Structure 1
Amino acid sequence: MPLAFAASGEVAPRGVHKGAAIGAILERLDIDPADAIGVGDNWNDAEMFEVCGTAIAMGNAVDGVKALADQVTTSIDDDGIWNAFERNRLI
């Protein structure tokens, strides 16, 4: 099976990534991807951002990932996930 190499140094079989996993879960649960929110900080989150209706980069994310995101929250050390969830009325 051919392998895919991510920019972050991760190795996985081609087609195996967070986007594929989230897509499969959303399909199984019959949830519209437009209603999904993905939060990430590195290149291994890029495919997830493509699947989710809202992509949120952490404040400490690499610049290229921030550019892919719909929103940028504060860093992980500054309650970034909490702030993102609060901003999007999840909590």
Structure 2
Amino acid sequence: MPLLGNIVVIERHGEDGTAFPFTPPCLFGRKLDCDIRIQLPQVSDEHCKIELNENNELILTNLSSVNPTRINGQVLNQSERLKHGDLITIIDRSYR
């Protein structure tokens, strides 16, 4: 899969932090084999993922049944298409 850009950590003070190269699929969670690891006890082993669908759209899917993933402040119930600049929040960690 080709590199599609970066996933940027949003620091607590609101500025851009670390940038991770983004090649879908991208798995967020606590497990060692997650692409982006979030080491918080409230984060599921596999919390959410970003995949490329058959129409070349990026789809964010929530995998946690306990603590939902948020997109632009709204709870993500199942899956949603991502747009450039969308803000993904997992517990208190945000990414763009």
Which TM-score band applies after superposition, normalised by the shorter structure? under 0.3
**TM-score, length of structure 2 as denominator length:** 0.26
Which structure has greater strand proportion?
2
Q: Which entry has the higher C-alpha Rg, 1 or 2?
A: 1
